[in-house]
């Protein structure tokens, strides 16, 4: 019951999708399963929020070090939730003016909008913007050309860093001063072997790096990941992998 029923549910759910993909008759089953999945995803959000509160409430009640910050988290969470759920400051939808709850919960000027605009946006955006600083220290401290592979990585990074800015064009501005016969010619006079020194401009070289070596390496990784995902999914659908069922 504790492990068998969930196992059967996982197998049936997965196979319903596979069958729905290949048999038009079963397409409706797949659509229903997808709709339930989307609704259940909201349940996962509620679970995530609940888990967060449970963790922080424990910290506050046991008065562990830093419990004050947990209290801030709880207050912010419930404050945002209440303001959003109650649609504080939200006016009715102009199409249905007599329905006071019909308005858009994120209407400009409403309580939730204020929280989003002045708390969520600056805090999350600045959190991620901090990575720019850490990437600079990482470049200074950790990026060492110790071997051929590391050197290749650093040279490529340097070309891409310059190539994706105006510097990629500007650094090769001196090519414009050279006569065309030097910048464009056929190697050893062979008509199908043209040499164009402008191709070495970092911006063009970057494009070539992205389209050829990067595409090749990423394609290999993509195919490898796809094989791994197929193997893992098959193991789940055939009931071989039961790690998601947890321990009894």
Partner 1 sequence: MDKSLETPKKSNNTIWAIIFIIGAIMLIWSMTTSRTGQVWVTAESHSFSENPDGVYTPTQAGSGEIEWTTYNVVPENELTQVAINNGEATLSWSRTIGLWLAAIFTLFILSFLVGDNPAYKFAEAMVVGTSAGYVMVIGLWDVFVPNLLGKLLPGVVQGWALPGMSAEYISFWWVYFIPAILIVMLLFQLMPKGGWISRWPIAFFIGITAGYRMIGYVEADLVAQIKAGIVPLWISGEGGFEFWPSFNACLLTIATLSAMVYFFFSVEHKGLVGRIAKVGIWFLMITFGASFGYTVMGRIALLAARLEFLFGEWLHFIPSS
Partner 2 sequence: MLHALQNLDRRWIFLSMLIAVAIPILAKTVFPEVVSKQAKMVFDSIENLPDGSNILLSYDFDPASQGELLPMAQAFTRHCSIKGHKQYYMALWPLGSPMVDLSIDTIESEYPDMVYGEDYMKFDYKAGGEAVIRMITQDLRGMFPLDSRGVPLDQIPMTKNIKNIQDMDLIINVSAGDPGTKQWVQFAATPFGLTTISGCTGVQAPQMYPYIPEQLAGMLGAIKAAAEYEAAIDAVYPSINDNPKAQEAKRRMGPQLVAHGLMIGLIVLGNVIFFVSRKRGQA
State the residues that interact with partner 2 by CB under 8 A. 27, 30-31, 34-35, 37-39, 41-42, 44-45, 93, 95-96, 102, 104, 106, 108, 116, 120-121, 124-125, 127-129, 132-133, 135-137, 139-145, 154, 157-158, 161-162, 164-167, 169, 203, 207, 210-211, 214-215, 218-219, 222
- Beta-sheet strands, E only, within the chain: 184-186, 194-196
Total residues binding partner 1 (CB under 8 A): 142
Site for partner 1 in 110-169 (CB under 8 A): 112, 114-133, 135, 139, 141, 148-150, 152-161, 163-164
Contact criterion met (CB below 8 Å) for 217 and 223: no
Q: What, of partner 2, partner 1, none, does residue 238 touch, CB below 5 to 8 Å by kind? A: none
Chain centre distance of CA 12: 29
Query: Dihedral, CA atoms, 136, 137, 138, 139, nearest 10 degrees?
Result: 50
Does residue 240 touch partner 1 according to CB under 8 A?
A: no
Contact criterion met (CB below 8 Å) for 195 and 186: yes
Does residue 244 touch partner 1 according to CB under 8 A?
A: yes
Contact criterion met (CB below 8 Å) for 217 and 209: no
Neighbours of 139 (CB within 10 A): 12
Residue 140 CB, shortest distance to partner 2, in Å, is 4
Does residue 31 touch partner 1 according to CB under 8 A?
A: no
Tokens of 138: 């990482």
Neighbours of 188 (CB within 10 A): 7
Task: Work out which of 23, 27, 31, 32 binds partner 1, going by CB under 8 A.
Answer: 32
Q: How many CA atoms lie within 13 A of 149 on its CB side?
A: 0
Q: What, of partner 1, partner 2, none, does residue 23 touch, CB below 5 to 8 Å by kind? A: none
Residue 137 CB, shortest distance to partner 2, in Å, is 5
Q: Tell me the backbone φ, ψ of residue 194, rounded to 5 degrees.
A: -75, 145
Q: What, of partner 1, partner 2, none, does residue 145 touch, CB below 5 to 8 Å by kind? A: partner 2
C-alpha distances in Å from residue 129, one per residue of 13, 106, 125, 134, 180: 40, 25, 6, 10, 45
What does the per-residue mask of binding to partner 1 show for 168-197, with x meaning CB under 8 A? Answer: -----------------------xxxx---
Q: First and final CA of the chain: distance in angstroms?
A: 11
Site for partner 1 in 37-56 (CB under 8 A): 37-52, 54
Q: What, of partner 2, partner 1, none, does residue 11 touch, CB below 5 to 8 Å by kind? A: partner 1
């Amino acid at each position: 019951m504790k492990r068998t029923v969930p196992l059967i549910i996982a197998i049936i759910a997965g196979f319903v999708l596979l069958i729905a993909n290949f048999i038009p008759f079963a397409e409706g089953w797949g659509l229903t399963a997808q709709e339930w999945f989307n609704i259940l995803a909201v349940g996962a959000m509620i679970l995530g929020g609940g888990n967060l509160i449970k963790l922080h409430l424990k910290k506050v009640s046991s008065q562990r070090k830093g419990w004050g910050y947990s209290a801030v988290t709880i207050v912010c969470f419930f404050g945002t939730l209440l303001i959003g759920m109650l649609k504080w400051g939200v006016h009715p939808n102009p199409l249905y003016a007599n329905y006071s709850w019909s308005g858009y919960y994120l209407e400009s000027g409403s309580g939730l909008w204020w929280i989003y605009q002045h708390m969520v946006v600056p805090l999350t955006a600045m959190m991620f913007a901090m990575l720019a600083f850490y990437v600079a220290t990482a470049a200074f401290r950790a990026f060492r050309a110790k071997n051929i592979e590391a050197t290749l990585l650093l040279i490529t990074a340097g070309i891409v860093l310059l190539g994706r800015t105006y510097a990629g064009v500007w650094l090769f501005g001196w090519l414009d001063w050279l006569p065309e016969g030097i910048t464009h010619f056929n190697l050893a006079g062979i008509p199908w072997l043209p040499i164009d020194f402008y191709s070495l401009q970092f911006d063009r070289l970057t494009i070539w790096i992205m389209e050829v070596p990067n595409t090749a390496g990423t394609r290999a990784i993509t195919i490898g990941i796809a094989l791994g995902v197929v193997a893992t999914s098959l193991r789940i659908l055939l009931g071989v992998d039961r790690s998601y069922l947890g321990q009894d």
